[in-house]
Every structure is written in C-alpha cells, then in structure tokens.
Structure 1
C-alpha cells in the first residue's frame, strides 16, 4: 500500500508529508483548495509527463517521494531492473526541474522514467477526473475487456507480430513497384548491357588509340624527317658527326700546345659521341617505321565505335566500363529482388496464418471473458444502486476470418451495450448512459478488474461526478468494501461517500505573508463531524447539520 507521500515545491504545495493507512481514505476540501494537486503529484512520482509550469513559483525544481509497503509481489520485476527491495518496502522518488528535465529513483537506484512508469502501473490504478468518459471510446472498452481476460501480454505479442507483418508487406510492395518499373525498361537495359559488354571498352583505350592514329597518319613525314637527319648527321660530306670529330681532334691538339684548353677536350669528344649515338638511334628508328593501312583502318573503326557509344550514352569513353558494370548489376539485382520477393511472399503467408490463429484464439478468449465480465459487473451494479441495469460485452468479428480481417488488435470489434431499466433494449453505452451512470459503471468495472489486476492501490479523483443521495451512499459502501482487499484513496465532495472512509483528510488552502499554500491534515472526532457538516450544508454549519453529520458517521458501521 501507499504508506507515505512527501511533496516539495509542487504547484501550491511548499512542503507536505502525509502518511496513509489501509482501507478507504477520502480527501475532501472546498473547491479550489487543491485536492487534485495531490493526485497530480503522485502521478508525477509514478512516471507521468513532467509539466514545468506545475513547479511552485520561485522554485527551480520539485521533489515527490512515495513510500510503498507490502510490495514483495514486485520483487522479481524490481530485481530485473537491478533494484533490491528492503523489507518489502519500495521508495519511489522523482525530481523535476524548471528546465523540463527530470530524474527518477527506485530505492535510491537511478532508473528511466519509462521504468518508473512500468513499476508505477503495477503499484497504482489511478482514475482521474472525467476518466469515466473514456468508457465511451471503443478502444478503451477493448482494453478493459482484454484486462479482464488477462490478454495484455498476448495482445502485445500479437501486435508486435502484426507490425512485423505490416513491415514485410510494405517491403514486398516496394519490391513489386520497383520490379514493375524495372520490367518496363528491362529489355532496353539488357540490350545496353549486352552492347557495352561486347564492346569491351577498357579505361584509357580511347586516348591510346588517338595517339596511335596520329602516328599512323604521320608515316611519310616521319620517313622524310629521318632521311634528312641521317644525311645531316653522317651520310654526306661535312656531316655533323664528321665535323664533331674534326672539332674534337683540333681542340685536343690545341690543348697539347696550351694547357689552358685542357678542360675543353672532353666536352668536344662527348659531343662527337652523342651525335654518333643519335645517328645510330635514328637509323634504327627508320627501320621501325612501317606503313600499315590495315591497322589504321582498325584504329579508325574502333575510335568511331567509341565515339558513337560516348554520344549514345552521354558519358566519356573511360566511363563506359563502369556503365556496363552498372547495367549488368541491375539485371542481376532484378533476379535477386525477384528471389527476395518470392521469399517475402512465403514469409508473409506464414505470418498471416500464425497471426490469424492467434487472433482467432484472442477472439475466443475475449468472448469468454466478455460473458464473465458482464455477469460480474451485473453483480456490482446491484451494489451500486443499479439494480435493474445490464451491461453486455459484444465481441463482433467475421464468421470466416481471413488474413484481410487482421488488424492491430486482432479481428474483433468490441462494444459495451447498456440498459438501465427492465424491458429496455441494450444499446451502445455512448448513446444511453448518463454521467452518473457512467461513474458507477466505471466503478463496477474497476472493482471487477481489481480481482484480476491485483494492483494494491486504487485512487479515484471524483468518481462521484454526477451522483448524489442514495446512489452516493451505494458508491461509498462499495468503495469501503473494495478497501478491505486493496487500499483505496478517493477525492470526493459528497458527505455520503466521505462518511464511509476509514481515514479522512482535509485539504486546505491558506495564505500567509503573500504566499498561498495547500496543506493536508487528518480529521478525527469533532473535526471530521464539522467537515461532513460543511460538505452537507456549505459554509453555514448549524447544530442540525452537525447532528446529521454525527448520524452519518454513526451509520458508517452499517455499510456492510
């Protein structure tokens, strides 16, 4: 149970500490005193989203700490989070700052807010203001039914499988769309790939061919230039080699006569040797020059093909090999994608069969649970002053379900149908239930689900909306009975409900030194009598209203 709650710097609360007991606890107070602030603080401690505007004015952070006892049932879950329970006690703490950031701890072990929320859901079932309106939502009705059937884990697994199926179907659709587009261009792609593969273009080939083409086109001119060089170097009188030899001999002779020219002997001899080597090289080069018209035709034809392919594919010749590889790869990818698509089709068919089996089983369990839920809620109705009311849980689905019927929650639609009076036809809850009836229907469902969920703490924020008089007394008695198996905390404005409580707290708003504060105090004896009298008569409390309040408390022992 929730043994203690401490709140600092939250909304109008400066520093509040309160200890709770077992059974039914009620929180009362005048409108605007801050009754719902207590619930908001506890919700924040249990993982609700942090709203920085709820910080007390002037504070840079708030801290909410809740101590729970008798939580040994959560020991395994906590150990999975690395949290050790101390003597069956769990302390939940949340610190939230003005910057919107927050931190959370369980028994001083830091945890994520997600972990805090999961643990909180196992500790407290909180029914907020106007939450009974959710009963009109078909999705909420489905969740209530699944909770009564203990289907939450099964539905989570089913939904995970459904999402995987949808992802596989989306992948297959994308593959098929791409395949359809590819088929439209596949013949052209195959032709182009074949054309480029047969062309067998090599990177750098075009430049090499152009250089060879230039050489083949210059055969006659090269022959003429080589002949002229041969004559100039050695093949005529007074050739360069002959003159260089004569010059070298004359310089050597002069150096013998005048040593000052000794250093010039070697350069002249070197010049003679170089000219002689050049002549020999030119002679060899002349032998290599050959006119080859067939090769010229081959080179020209090859260059013509390469230039044609460059224009056709709008890329340079050096890029043609990469293009050929890309087109060939597309053809291979088409085969791989088709293989992959076929594998996906088999996988999808298998997933659909598995999900359809699971959904059919979920339907069977929902229908069985719906019958039982209707029966148990009917029993609760009689305790809540709805003696003639009936609630029927209708689980509707296809008679012969197929894969096309699969949805994220199965193959069913769930609808709660209600009739408040005998002889009246059962109709959808959203069309016939009044506000007061919705409150009692919600309480009946909560009471029924409490046996299944085994959440130790139930909190109701104004479950008494839209009711009063005899109906309020019935609701109070039901909450008191519920408090025998679970801790129940209820915010109420009705004295008929408040008088049924085992513990009564008054929430007050006070102003001191220009600051407003919300506080909480336990009521007993005459203080509780006065509060019940105020709730009955308003600000004008008389002996008559006090006597009536005492009578209400005296009758508390008769709630059974």
Structure 2
C-alpha cells in the first residue's frame, strides 16, 4: 500500500505531503480543487507520460515521491524486487520521479535510477487504477479467463498446467530440430560410411608414403647398387693386392716404428681405423644386398601401395594426415547420428507421456472452470443488480480453443492456459439476447461490472492499492449507498484511494481527506486536511446540500453512524 506521498512544484501544487493508511481513503473537495492532481502524481511516479504544464514554476524541477509498504506475502512483487536486486528488507520501497525544466524525467527506486519500463512492471503489481482504460480489459477474453480462474481459486493448477505446457512445447521444438538435423544427416551418412570403409580398407598411416618413397628409390636402383657392392667388395678384399691387404701390410710395417715417433704412432692408428671402417662399409653394403635379394616382390608392393595412397590423396584433396582427420570428423557425425536417433526416440517417448498428463490436467482445469463459472455468474448478477442494473443477465461461454497460434500440431488443441476459450455474454435488459460483452455493454455498465468483479475477487487477489477516480459519476440515490458499501468492502482487503463527490462514499471512509484550492492574486495553492469528528460531518453535510445547515449536519451524522 501507499504509506506516503510528497509532491513539489507539480501543476498547482507547491509542496504537499500526505500520509495514508489501510482501508478506504476518500478524497473530497469542490470541483477543480486538485483532487485528481494527487492521483496524477501517483500515475506520473509509476510511469505515466509527462506533458507540458506539469511544472508549477517552469524554472524549477518537480519532485514526486511515493513510499510503498511491501507485503512479503505477495510473491510476484517480492520476486520482481529480487530480480532487479532492490533491497526491501525494511519492508518499504521509495519510488521517486524528478521532472527537469525541459520536461525530461528520471525515475528512482530506493535511490537507484531505473528505466520507465521497469517502473511499469512494478506499477502492475502495486496499483490498480479503476479507469476507462481499465474497463477495456473486460473486452479481452484472456482477462475474462484470468478473473474466472482467480474466482475459482484455480491459479495454482493453471500455473502447474502452464509450466508443463511450456516444458512440453520446448521439448517438441527440440524434437523438431533434432528430426531436421537427423533428416539432413541421413542423406550424408551413407556417403560418410562409404568413405570411412574406403579409408579403413586402405588404412593409411601418417608418414607411410614418405617411408615407402625412400624404399622405392632404393629398390628402383637395386641393379646399380648390387654391381657397385660387388666391385667394392672385390676391390677391398678379393683381388690381388686388395685395399684391405695393402692397408694391413702398411700397418704391420709401420708398427715396428710407432714407438720411435709420435706421428708414426698416429698414422698406424688412423690406418687401423680405416681398416675397421672398410669392414663396416662392407657390412652395411651386404645388408642392402640382403634386403634387395631377399624380397624381390617388395618393389611391386611398394609401387602398388604408393599408387593407392596417392589416389586417396588426390580424391580427398588432402595428405594422409588430413585424410585421417577427415575420417575422424565424419565418424563423429555418424556417432552423433546414431545417438541422435536414440535421443529422438527417448524425447518422443517423454513427449507422449507429457501430452497425456497435460491433456488430463486441461480436462480437470476445464471442468473446474465450468463449475466455477456457474457460481461466478450468480455472484456477479447479485452484485451488479445492486448497482442499478436490475435486469442484468450474464453467461460465461466456455468452448474449446480452435487452434493455438504458434503451437505445434501436437498441442493444437491447447494453449498455455489450457483447452478453454472464454467469452462473457451479457444483457442489461429483459428480452434482449445475450451478446459478447464487447458488443452489449455500455461504458457505465462496464464500470459497474468491473467494480462487482473487484468486490467479489477482493479476498482472492494479492494486496495492492486500488484507485477509483470519480467512479460515482452519474450515480445517485440508493445506488450511491450500495456503491459505497462495495468500495468499503474492497477496502477490507486492499488499500483504496477514492476521489468522490458522493457523501455516501465519504461516510464509509476509514480516512477522509479534504482537498481545497486557495486562490491568491498571482497563484493558487492546494491544501489537504485529514478530517475527523465534526470536521468530517461538516464536509459530508456540504456534499449533501452545499452547506452545513442543521438538517444537513443531522443527515451527515446519520450517514456516518449507518456505517
């Protein structure tokens, strides 16, 4: 509820501070006294548009602030504060608006600047303005369904349904995406599997082609290498006066003198090393000879293998390392395809179970709505007849939705509120056919109908401040007293701010504010006073007859006492 309101330099208000309480707060005063300025200030604080003429003094900014008492039981409201990390541990929230001289404005919550959109989110949960625009909501079939669910205390089951519906809808979207991916992959999988089998059959290894090329070069020159090896061995070992024999002879001859001279000693050692190196050279050449002579078919194999590897590289336009990477990549896609098919199957099974559940829940919700609608109709008729529509008839027509826009085919008979479409049919006169509310109801009937709904639902709604701005327009006589009772009954559950010209409504107030405009030679000033006791009686007498005559005061006292 609103605990206090402060207004500075706004329209004709220089400085104003008000404190409010629970229950019905009535604001009265002569026409043009400034009553609507108070409601206007609250509207501006909570996001309404700024217009020229809102500054009393164009050279100074306007400052508006409303302090709200926050009900921790209102889960939606506390969640919204938490979402924006706004501290309400003290149980209060300060909403402020500053309007600069250029009419640009800033909004604040607890001193922190916030956007207009955020302010409007809070507005919907803090304040209920009963206005012409508010009445238009009655034409909205979604709103009609919402009030029916609130009346039937079906909010929990509806939220349960909505949550499961959205979860199922999300699963269906995921399933479609998986199926599309699976369909696209299915066309490629056969090719991928063929390619993997082809690569697997050849089974290339990284670096294999380089090694084979080296071996191929060796085997291609085998005849020349064998001839060289034969001649080399002959020259070193076999022919008369061979290299080996000559070195051995010189080693023996010089060995006699190696102790006589250091250089001779070194020469002998070098010759011995040369002899050993000749042995090693011949051994290495013999190894090559063995390779060439043992596997005469090796050349054919290597040539064939290199042809396979080369053809594979040409086909895939990559070297062996790239081909193996490509193979791993398409193998992953094949594995993904297989696991995707399993996921599709599992997800489809889940959706079947979910659909069975939400269809059952929608039937349960629909049955409860129809039962609640019958009782709601009776209560609305009883209450609206008290508001001078004696022949009113009403019917909640509940039908299956035709098709939920944007939902999948598997959810086409549902939307996130269930299976029901609701349309209120209304007639204000005997013998007149019931028609949709948007066709049949006048502005005055809309206002009274909405008031009746608010009264009926007042104990079922989250606590908030309800503002009635001259709801009593065009109402008089016995209806005035019944209207006052209605508003007072709503005030038992919610804080109500009501601007009124009706003494009957004023007599039911829990707190009565008198608004007076005092005109000076250069400017006007708005004064607000809380009325108690005799002052209140005098104001109600003025509202009754325009003066505080003894008869008017007596009548005022009777109205106050009747409450």
| TM bucket, shorter chain | 0.7 to 0.9
Q: Is the 8 A contact 1:468 1:494 kept in 2?
A: no
Structure 1 distance, partners of 2:468, 2:227, is: 112
Shift of 1:166: 0.8
Q: Is the 8 A contact 1:201 1:317 kept in 2?
A: yes
* Aligned-partner Cα distance in 1 for 2:477–2:245: 138
- 1:490 paired with 2:497, answer yes
SS in 2 for 1:33: helix
Aligned mate of 2:351, from 348, 352, 364: 348
Change (3 A) 1:234 1:462: farther
Shift of 1:373: 0.9
Q: Work out the CA distance in 2 between the residues paired with 1:203 and 1:549.
A: 109
Q: Which residue of 1 aligns with 2:423?
A: 415
CA deviation map 1:53-77 (0-9, x unaligned): x999989998653347xx79789x9
- Would you say 1:282 and 2:285 are equivalent positions? no
Query: Does the alignment pair 1:447 with 2:471?
Result: no
Q: Alignment length, in residue pairs?
A: 517
- Structure 2 counterpart of 1:319: 322
Q: Distance in 1 between matches of 2:315 and 2:62?
A: 71
- Within-5 A mapping of 1:10-409: 18-28=18-28, 29-30=33-34, 33-38=37-42, 41=45, 64-67=66-69, 91-94=91-94, 127=130, 130-224=133-227, 226=229, 239=243, 256=260, 262=262, 268-289=267-288, 290-291=292-293, 292-397=295-400, 404-409=412-417
Q: Which moved more, 1:309-318 or 1:55-64?
A: 55-64
Change in Cα spacing, 1:278 to 1:222, as seen in structure 2 (3 Å) is farther
State the distance in 2 between where 1:389 and 1:94 align.
Answer: 44
| Partner Cα separation in structure 1 for residue 211 and residue 525 of structure 2 | 92
Q: Distance in 2 between matches of 1:466 and 1:216?
A: 113
Deviation at 1:153, TM superposition (A): 1.5
Q: Secondary structure at the match of 2:459?
A: helix
Deviations 1:15-51 (A, max 9, x none): 865443454212355276232323665x69xxx9xxx
Residues 1:522 and 2:530 are matched in the alignment? yes
Residues 188-210 of structure 1, C-alpha deviations (whole Å, 9 max, x = no match): 22222221222222222222222
Deviation, 1:414, is: 0.8
- The superposition leaves residues 458-515 of structure 1 with CA deviations (integer Å, 9 ceiling, x where unpaired) of 5124261864445972564234541573354233253456534422224678999x99
Greater Cα shift, 515-524 or 421-430: 515-524
Pair 1:473 & 2:480 matched = yes
Contact 1:149 1:366 survives alignment (8 Å): yes
Residue equivalent to 1:5: 4
Q: CA deviation at 1:527?
A: 7.9
| Alpha-carbon distance in 1 for matches of 2:477, 2:243 | 140
Deviations along 1:288-316, one digit per CA (max 9) or x if unpaired, are 22154411111111111112112222222
Structure 1 match to 2:407: none
The 8 Å contact of residues 203 and 319 in structure 1, kept in 2 or not, is answered as no
The answer (yes or no) to whether the contact 2:391–2:428 under 8 Å persists in 1 is yes
Distance 1:176 1:72, change over 3 A: closer
User: 1:428, CA displacement in angstroms?
Assistant: 1.0
Secondary structure at the residue paired with 2:223? helix
Q: 8 Å contact 1:34–1:509 — kept in the other structure?
A: no
Aligned to 1:556: 559
Alpha-carbon distance in 1 for matches of 2:441, 2:453: 15
Secondary structure, counterpart of 2:25 in structure 1: strand
**1:215 deviation in Å?**
2.2
Alignment CA distance shift 1:477-1:279 (3 Å): same
Partner of 1:424 in structure 2? Answer: 432
CA deviation string 1:122-153 (max 9, x = no partner): x8766466212111111111111111111112
Query: Measured at CA, do residues 527 and 362 of structure 1 come closer, stay the same or move farther in structure 2, by a change above 3 Å?
Result: closer
Q: Is the 8 A contact 1:459 1:489 kept in 2?
A: yes
CA contact (8 A) 2:480 2:504 kept: yes
Q: C-alpha displacement at 1:363, in angstroms? A: 0.3
Report the Cα distance in structure 1 between the residues aligned to 2:485 and 2:548, rounded to whole angstroms.
25
1:394 deviation in Å? 1.5
Cα distance change of structure 1 residues 101 and 265 upon mapping to structure 2, 3 Å threshold: farther
Measure how far apart 1:376 and its partner are.
0.5
1:520 & 1:201 partners in 2: Cα distance? 95
* Paired residues of 2:455 and 2:487 also in contact (CA < 8 A): no
Give the whole-Å Cα distance in 1 for the aligned partners of 2:232 and 2:555. 136
Does the 8 A contact of 1:229 with 1:282 survive in 2? no
The secondary structure found in structure 2 opposite 1:499 is: helix
Give the secondary structure class of the aligned counterpart of 2:390.
coil
Q: Is the 8 A contact 1:206 1:318 kept in 2?
A: no
> Structure 2: which 5+ residue stretches go unaligned?
49-53, 83-88, 99-104, 112-116, 405-409
CA–CA distance in 1 between the matches of 2:190 and 2:69? 74
> Is 1:499 aligned to 2:492, yes or no?
no
For the residues of structure 2 that align with 1:500 and 1:474, how far apart are their CA atoms?
9
Are the aligned partners of 2:379 and 2:456 in contact in 1 as well (CA < 8 Å)? Answer: yes
What is the CA deviation profile of residues 415-442 of structure 1, one whole-angstrom value per residue up to 9, with x for unaligned ones? 1111111111111111122222211111
